[in-house]
Chains A and B, each alone.
Chain A
Amino acid sequence: EADIYQTPRYLVIGTGKKITLECSQTMGHDKMYWYQQDPGMELHLIHYSYGVNSTEKGDLSSESTVSRIRTEHFPLTLESARPSHTSQYLCASSESGTYGYTFGSGTRLTVV
């Protein structure tokens, strides 16, 4: 089924650890996005990509990095997790601006 998948759903990790949040979509969308969202709060764009080998930083300053080696895969990496990174991370993809975004289920990250 065409969809967008995020793993893990929940992650509790110690300070200083390196983590990668996975995001994959099977819709063939060129455009993919990472948002940070605390529950019931605003969405903050942290990274986006318009295609393979294209990545840009979003509006919210983030210590994370992303890569886009394949169209379907857009992982987000934190080299050294800190408690301030505790949040929910949402991945989305889109075909064009006209159709809006499709979101994954999110990864809820807790850094202790």
Chain B
Amino acid sequence: AQRVTQPEKLLSVFKGAPVELKCNYSYSGSPELFWYVQYSRQRLQLLLRHISRESIKGFTADLNKGETSFHLKKPFAQEEDSAMYYCALSGSNYQLIWGAGTKLIIKP
């Protein structure tokens, strides 16, 4: 079965501390994975794709096929990183399979 699991509904860290938002997936083929972010009162937007191997706003995510994970990391959290983060997997038939989301709160 195709599934995305984000085990933490809420993650709270202090400004300047490292952040890691966890994402695990279940997929039989070659996965294409994404992180989306939704800031307060803004639209859901793509943060990064594993295929592009880029760093956006200081965030990186590495696909680990052995552990079937795609965790999102940032070495030093900033207050403006507070948002909802969703991990998604591109499954068969062009649909994204979504995790339940993690609310990240950065404390000053």
Q: Name A residues whose Cβ lies closer than 8 Å to a Cβ of B.
A: 31, 33, 40-43, 45, 48, 50, 90, 92, 94, 96-106
Contacts and interface: CB of A to CB of B under 8 A. Distances in A.
Given A97-B90, A98-B51, A100-B34, A42 B45 contact: no
B57 interface: no
Nearest to A102: B46
A90 B32 contact: no
A50 B101 contact: no
A60 to B, nearest CB: 12
Interface residues of B, number: 21
Given A42-B101, A98-B32, A50 B94 contact: yes
Contacts of B36: 100
A41 B101 contact: yes
B98 A42 contact: yes
Contacts of A50: 94
Nearest to A58: B95
Interface in B37-63: 43-46, 49, 51
Given A40-B103, A105-B43, A100 B49 contact: yes
Closest 8 CB pairs of A and B: A97-B90, A103-B44, A105-B43, A42-B100, A100-B34, A97-B94, A43-B98, A100-B46
Contacts of A41: 100-101
Nearest to B96: A101
Contacts of A92: 44
Given A40-B84, A48-B95, A103 B43 contact: yes
B101 A97 contact: no
B86 interface: yes
B88 interface: yes
A104 B43 contact: yes
